[in-house]
Structure 1
Amino acid sequence: MKLSSSAYLRAAVSLCSLLAWTAGAHAESVERAPDAPNAAAPDAAETAEVSGDIIVTAQRRDEKLQSVPIAISALTSDTLSGRGVVTLSSISQVAPSLNVKSYPASGDTLSLNMRGQGIADSGQITKDGGVGLYIDGFYIARPQGVLFDVGDPERVEVLRGPQGTLYGRNTTGGAINIITKKPSGEFGGRVSATYGSRDFVRGTASIDLPAIGNIAVRGTIAYTDKPGWVKNQGGNNRYHDFGQLAGRVAARWTPSADVTVDYAYARGRVTTTPAYFVNPSFVGSLPGYVATRDQTWTALPLPESESNFVDHQLTGQFDVSDFLTIRSLSAYRGSTSHQFVNYSVALTAPTFPVGLTGQEDYRSKQYSQEFQLIGEIGDRFSYTGGLFYARETGRHDKLQDQFLIPFNRHVISTRWVEAKSTSYAAYLQGTITPPVLDDRMKLTLGARYTSDKRSATRNSLVNGNPVEVNARNSQSFENFSPAATLAMQWTPNILTYVKVSKGYKAGGSSEAAPVFANTFNPEKITSYEAGLKSQFFDNAVTFNVTAFHNVFNDLQIDFVTDPANPAVVSTINAGKAHVNGFEVDLTIKPSSNFSVRAAYSYLDPKVKQVLAPAGTIFDRLRNPASPFSVGDDVTRYFTLPFAPTNALSVSGDWTFLQFGENELSFHANYSYEDAVYTIATAGPAVRGRDLHASEPLERVDLRLTWATQLINDRRARLSFFANNVFDNRAAQFTIAGGSPLTGYVRQAAPYSEPRVLGIEANIEF
């Protein structure tokens, strides 16, 4: 049964009320002693938070953030809640090297990019992205219906650069790992409610139940109803709507001091509408067309899109001894997504306006199994090894209805693609501490062998007539990715390291290619990195900097292959590229009541070589108007998309008033991101290339919070917030009309969200 938004809200409010009542009824009778016999031991990360250290598990073991010789950002639960970070896209405002956007065709599909690496079309099931997304170490293959706050995150780790040695899938850009809070075995919980502009409502609740024997259980629920900011003039839904109702139950079983078993079950529903594209070139050409970013030019049919997902995650850990741990990670994720789009005429030309509407359906199932061996041999050698297996099956149905306005005729194209992929991997990483320099030097060597297999089938119709029947492709790849890191702990608070690593992104096929049998091969990267991690003045100042030089071979680039139809796109291994850059992270905390943090990312991407491939618009046999032949140098027609030259985040936190059990604090965050090109074929030789560039994105967020201590150790917070307080708006995910050979001549783009004002209440018990 499909629930209405009001039913969602009633369900969430009812649960929040129940949890609050439970807190009052049982708080007096539950002992909170940390040494209670039935209480699960707290995670190392939770213990470290109290002492001011951040513990991360980026290398599959608990380590202090400042002692890990890799480029990583970590955001704790206190940081996330204090800044109002409740979505994955919000993370990029505090970790500027990460670029997270909602794909314009659907608000529930994410586009992830880091260090100039990602994927141009995150809706395709026949290819992989350059940035891996994980929840508690479990890889999420498809970006539809991924929610940030279902598991009540304990922290988020953003790993920058190739991840080929330890993580579940090889990625060339980086990885995001969301670590959820585990059951504690002690009674407690949290209830949160938010109300904001445009009747934005959000509610979350979590509860930890007292342990029963050696089993502890924790449950969370999250509800959001966020109406979109583009009114549909007379239509049934707004553009940019977002809603969710999701829940998660986590259980921890500790049959002995050496064995821990964690199981989590999550289920959720996400409802969205797509982005609204504005095309000023239609003003004066199409009667009644108005290029406004906050209201459609006419009433547009816009059904609501819906995604559903279910997750099962099982982690078993056996501490064989103080020097050896065996871990097993088993997971299943199933998801379905029904997406509806209505671009109106925005993606076409005023000389021949075409109304574009469509529907996309996704079904995906993924299974993964990983075994890890984590141990130490003496005091000078530690290691992590493992085996990884993943299998994914999926189907993507795409229906596009083109209403040819000059001819008053519909052309309906239907395409369905079925895909299957399997991945096998073995990895080993070891760290040696040689008996020199007072044990301050460490050498880490690692390697990963991966075997990938992919296959896909495509069928297509036009106006009900078969165009393609069971077109197939099949591929297999093998890759060996080594890595080496040399780290030097000069003082207890100053660490430097150099790192060389290789990574790869598996090959695949393009769903929109003219010939489905034409596939592309893996993309490979060699990364050279140097870093400094330091703290000064009794840890009041933290200064970390990383510089890198990435070399790409067999670069995967998307090409328009039909000069008359820009929707026909192939992905081809066509080039080489270098990405140079550096990242700076500075935190100044002169007292416990005041801190300032600045993070900066600089990228200098250069496409070094692209030779005109056969079967593209650069091929005279395919496009007689092309001035090039196959094999000619067309490098200057290309750039790396979604790679901002400058990205910056500056924030401050100040507890400026304390009286009794009360305190007032203020948080401010400024974030900036340079313009990025949204397509590879926007190089310096292309006329009108800036029409394929998004506008710089700049925003200021403010938050004022009153916190107080209630009876029975309960805490309450009331926050007033203003997101994008100066109402800066920017064109994002721009799409230009024209061709890289003849130049781009017009632009269509959706705009970023306007200012949001609101209030948030939290109670912890």
Structure 2
Amino acid sequence: MVSVSMGRGWMLAGGALLALTTPAFAEAPAAAEPATAAAPAEAEGLDEIVVTATKRETNLQKTPIAINVLSTQALQDRHVQSLYDLADGAIPSLRVATFEARQTALTIGIRGIVPLDANQPAREQGVGIYVDGVYLGRQHGLNAALFEVERVEVLKGPQGTLFGRNTEGGALSIVSKAPTGEFGGSATAGIANYGGYNGQFHLNLPEFANIALKFDGVVQYQGPTTKNPLSGQTGFNYFDRRGARAAARWKPTTTLTVDLSYDIGYDANSPFYSQLLNYNPNGCTAGPVANSPKCVLPGTGFTTLSGTVKPVSPLVKIEGNDRMKVADIGVPQQPSIDRTHGYVAKAGWKATDWVELRSITAWRDVSSIQYDNVGGAHRPPIVSANCTGTGCNFSRYSLADLYQHQFSQEFQAVGNIGQLDFVGGLYYFNERVSDDAATPSSLAFNSTLTAVTVLDPCRGSGGFGWQVGCRSIDRASAAKAKSYAVFGQATYNLDTLHFTVGGRNTWDDRDGRLLTVNNAPRSLTYSQNTSRFDPMAVVAWDASQDINLYAKYSTGYRSGGASSRSVSYREFGPEKVKAYEIGAKTQFFDRRVRLNLAGYIMDRTGSQIDFSSVSFDPATGANRNTVETVNAPGTTKIRGVEADLTVNPVEGLTLGASYAYTYTNIPATLNPFTNILQKVYIVFTPRNAASGTIDYSVPVAGDFANLKFHVDGNYSDATQTFDQAETKNDKSFIVNARLSLADIDMGRGTRLTVSAWSRNLFNTAYVYRRDPANSLPAFGSGTTGNINNVLGDYGNFNAPRTFGLEGSVRF
């Protein structure tokens, strides 16, 4: 545990570091406040940015929280269609990745809080995702098409007081555009490479009987970027997204506003292709481990190795430098299907001059049907020549179904009395989730490994297949969660000083059942009832009109649960975070320069760590891939510095730079499979990350139109993929660009914008997920490791360059 005095000393050192390194930030390739990229040419200085991080509308520069904002224009400039498009690093401290190679579930992290396998029913996220104030309980469905977004707020650091549980890393808040009550809207259509197209339609109707209506529709399509050679089967990295939303705003009086909305989304997609990156990179050979010093499975004490590293089939391609355009072996592959829909009812009543009472009621359903066959012959079982019978079967088809239903109710009182601003409220959340999974083999080699046969989709090779009703269920589980909370926060404004204190008490009631293991009924349960109080305190000082300094203490936690990938349904407890932060929000030269700085310490206890292995299930007498989650001992240290710079040197030109340094260290943790103390890691968290933007707008033919140019570059150090593996992914640098002839006057208030865009402009290829499991020995007997299934690292490359043309009419 780091003492308070040590923490203060580190914060002072961090402040000195910020001051010393500020000039470097101006030169770093980064993008601090993308929302300002849309500042119109005629604006004098940078636009004010409004946020709702404190449950009320405030100026970003006056809000003592580290926040980044992406505006509507910033999202368009980057051609962001779903949250996964933020994986290139638009905000350096925000990390977005797919779970495994699948696009059905996203891993989202902030400031080193990045839970990898939170897509299980009894596991939780560490970063809260909110849409219009409603918490989304699952990682599934997060890659759906975005509707007309007013802004995306990224709140960094624990948000345990106002946002609650599972926000220990921060919160990502998506705010939709509300009905205007005036006739107008926009329509967008575009085409792209890989057979891509996109379309949006947004319509506001005139207010009638104090009711304003708004309708949104969106379509996004991209063909596979890696082709599947098997006829009639889906290729890889394909998506087909559709969605619709209807919203109504009713204002019967000047003091009452009621907002109702319903949305529905459909996302068909396929995973990124998993390539074999190398062959036996650790030089594994049978005999003493000393003869193969790199062939060591973390957390084990093997002294000898047995078995044989098999040669690869001549059909298999080894490619670790560039993404494949065509898969080496065609496999059965269906689209995965995510479906989401939900209702939101919000009401705000200005009861008196000093308080507004609010209610947010929401109901939501998510279903996710996963088909993932990207491994082919690149993962176990590894087939040898002269195979016979089921020993020739390979290509593990990972199938999973998840269904979630959630209901939430929140009441808020927001107001001010004299110099006191306050927020208080009550919160209730109820969730039910179930899932199941199966992993049948789908292909078989001939005896010389030179030809492939597709197995029977129902019976496999005399066993089970992948069709519904024909599967051997590896696991099935169901979980329930109820959460209750009471919270409050108050700020006392004393001239240039602002003192904020707040707290939230949460009661969690969680339970679950593991129903099936290895296709056999099982009756394993877990139950947790916990109570948690999260305090927060901030001191802010307006050093001048444009310089605001703050110091903040906050806490947060992530609920405990149980691993449905465990044959014993192993339970684990909550993890908790304490955070200390100092920050400066500054503007200079008549708002031509905006520089925001933050330094922080986070100490996390009970870190939830995943260990994976093939383990024996005594109840069924079968081996299976197992994930056990444990709470790490001691204190996990996370330290960071962040800087956001925006400059508007001349009219029409805006430059942005953003940088994040993140240091992490987890105490060595006991491997539950081997009882050996093992070094573990935080995943998808680069030590250094940066982003930069250039936006330029110049009038054409007077006020007839504007020529706009946007380019952004995004850098990230290499990161780990798995808690227990030191193996790293590749570092990356991705450039996106857009060129537009905007706001062309078509008469009668209609404006046309025509754009050419590109994501990954230079077609950079890097491995964003590298799995070393197949290049290391498995458990044999005693201190002997087995290398029969050693092949090589396999992994996934990022998406290739995409580009297109787009036209948008605003009326």
Interval containing the TM-score (normalised by the shorter chain): 0.7 to 0.9
Look up the equivalent residue of 1:612 and give its one-letter code: L
Look up the equivalent residue of 1:591 and give its one-letter code: V
2:771 aligns to what?
Answer: 735
SS at match of 2:244: strand
Shift of 1:410: 5.6
1:678 aligns to what?
Answer: 721
2:380 is aligned with 1:348? yes
- 1:149–1:285: structure 2 CA closer, same or farther, 3 Å change rule? closer
2:71 is aligned with 1:71? no
Look up the equivalent residue of 2:435 and give its one-letter code: H
TM-score normalised by length of structure 1: 0.86
1:243 aligns to what?
Answer: 240
* 1:562 and 1:617 in contact (8 A); partners too: no
Moved more, 110-119 or 536-545: 110-119
Match of 1:453 among 509, 514, 522: 509
Look up the equivalent residue of 2:49 and give its one-letter code: I
Mapped to 2, the partners of 1:415 and 1:351 lie a distance apart of 25
1:666 aligns to what?
Answer: 709
Mapped to 2, the partners of 1:459 and 1:336 lie a distance apart of 19
* 2:64 and 2:550 in contact (8 A); partners too: yes
* 2:145 and 2:242 in contact (8 A); partners too: no
Look up the equivalent residue of 2:731 and give its one-letter code: P
Match of 1:399 among 432, 438, 449: 438
Shift of 1:322: 2.4
2:404 is aligned with 1:371? no
Look up the equivalent residue of 2:70 and give its one-letter code: L
* 1:736 and 1:745 in contact (8 A); partners too: no
* 1:402 and 1:410 in contact (8 A); partners too: no
In structure 2, the gaps of 5 or more residues are 1-38, 281-310, 385-392, 448-460, 465-471, 617-622, 780-784
Match of 2:758 among 713, 717, 722: 722
SS at match of 2:76: helix
Shift of 1:733: 2.1
Match of 2:111 among 102, 112, 115: 115
Moved more, 490-499 or 639-648: 639-648
SS at match of 1:78: helix
Match of 1:751 among 780, 797, 805: 797
1:326 aligns to what?
Answer: 357
Mapped to 2, the partners of 1:526 and 1:739 lie a distance apart of 39
2:261 aligns to what?
Answer: 264
2:782 aligns to what?
Answer: none
Cα displacement string for residues 155-206 of structure 1 (whole angstroms, at most 9, x for unaligned residues): 1100001110001534211111100000010000011111111111110110
* 2:329 and 2:376 in contact (8 A); partners too: no
Mapping of 1:38-49 within 5 angstroms? none
Look up the equivalent residue of 1:230 and give its one-letter code: T
TM-score normalised by length of structure 2: 0.81
Mapped to 1, the partners of 2:111 and 2:581 lie a distance apart of 12
2:493 aligns to what?
Answer: 433
Mapped to 2, the partners of 1:279 and 1:170 lie a distance apart of 36
Mapped to 2, the partners of 1:349 and 1:148 lie a distance apart of 34
1:25 aligns to what?
Answer: none
Mapped to 2, the partners of 1:351 and 1:299 lie a distance apart of 17
Mapped to 1, the partners of 2:529 and 2:777 lie a distance apart of 34
Match of 2:483 among 397, 400, 423: 423
* 1:139 and 1:168 in contact (8 A); partners too: no
2:738 aligns to what?
Answer: 703
1:567 aligns to what?
Answer: 625
Percent of paired sites with the same residue: 30
2:78 aligns to what?
Answer: 83
Shift of 1:443: 0.8
1:40 aligns to what?
Answer: none
2:542 aligns to what?
Answer: 489
Shift of 1:728: 0.5
2:126 aligns to what?
Answer: 130
2:344 is aligned with 1:313? yes
- 1:639–1:341: structure 2 CA closer, same or farther, 3 Å change rule? same
1:156 aligns to what?
Answer: 152
Mapped to 2, the partners of 1:663 and 1:732 lie a distance apart of 37
2:656 is aligned with 1:597? yes
- 1:189–1:147: structure 2 CA closer, same or farther, 3 Å change rule? farther
* 1:656 and 1:666 in contact (8 A); partners too: no
Shift of 1:758: 0.7
Cα displacement string for residues 688-736 of structure 1 (whole angstroms, at most 9, x for unaligned residues): x32xx21112211111110212211111111111221111011122211
2:500 is aligned with 1:444? yes
Match of 2:317 among 290, 315, 318: 290
Shift of 1:102: 2.6
Mapping of 1:575-614 within 5 angstroms? 575=633, 576-607=635-666, 609-612=667-670
Mapped to 2, the partners of 1:563 and 1:513 lie a distance apart of 9
Shift of 1:291: 3.2
* 2:153 and 2:173 in contact (8 A); partners too: yes
* 1:401 and 1:413 in contact (8 A); partners too: no
Look up the equivalent residue of 2:795 and give its one-letter code: A
* 1:695 and 1:730 in contact (8 A); partners too: yes
* 1:308 and 1:337 in contact (8 A); partners too: yes
In structure 1, the gaps of 5 or more residues are 1-44, 620-627, 629-633, 683-688
Shift of 1:367: 0.1
Cα displacement string for residues 48-98 of structure 1 (whole angstroms, at most 9, x for unaligned residues): x99921111010001001000001011221222233222213335321110
SS at match of 2:194: helix
2:565 is aligned with 1:512? yes
Q: Which has the higher contact order (CA 8 A, sep 6+)?
A: 2
